[in-house]
Structure 1
Amino acid sequence: MQYRSNEQETVINYDNQTGKWTIYSTYGPHARKFERALAEGARKEYTDSGTLIMIDGELNDADYRVSIARRVHMTEEQRRTNSERMRKMVEARKNGKAGQKEEME
């Protein structure tokens, strides 16, 4: 079974009395994203081919937290600068220099 587009939704709810977060999602990408955060006993539904398409249950708040973050929008120049910085960090780790600050040019 597959949910039709107009039936797909994700609802995350916080109950102030119990202090628990619950989630219900029939949108496959969200169901798969939050599957690891589900507490024991959550209900899951799969397609015939084994793809997770629905979850319903409490979130394991001991290991996860719910937050909304603003997306970072970078210019092309910022992307290039960050990419170069990451390349240098990876290179430094490969050479055993992790944790050492690079000399300023």
Structure 2
Amino acid sequence: MTTFDEREQAFEAKFAHDEEMQFNAQARCNKLLGLWAAGLLGLGGKDAEAFAGEIVAADLEEAGHEDVVRKLEGELQGKASADEIRAKRAELLPQAKDQILSETG
């Protein structure tokens, strides 16, 4: 195997790792967002965890995170606007990334 081949394989492995980390961070962010919304709805314990799981699953409907925003906006029924949900998501994403990094480090 040539040095070029080794570099190519290393680059591909790093890319795959980075993509997996990004996916995990997005899923963790959606879980945190779901737990936040569950709190607004007065849910706790297993009900909050189940609700957060539904939010994580909602993100698989389409590319991007607008599917999650729409689901939460409908579920929250006026307790938070779409803009407030997006702002909370933006706030939680770095926290989710930190959690994922600390678990893998």
TM bin (shorter chain): under 0.3
Q: RCO higher in 1 or 2 (8 Å CA, sep ≥ 6)?
A: 2
Structure with greater strand percent = 1
Structure with greater helix percent = 2
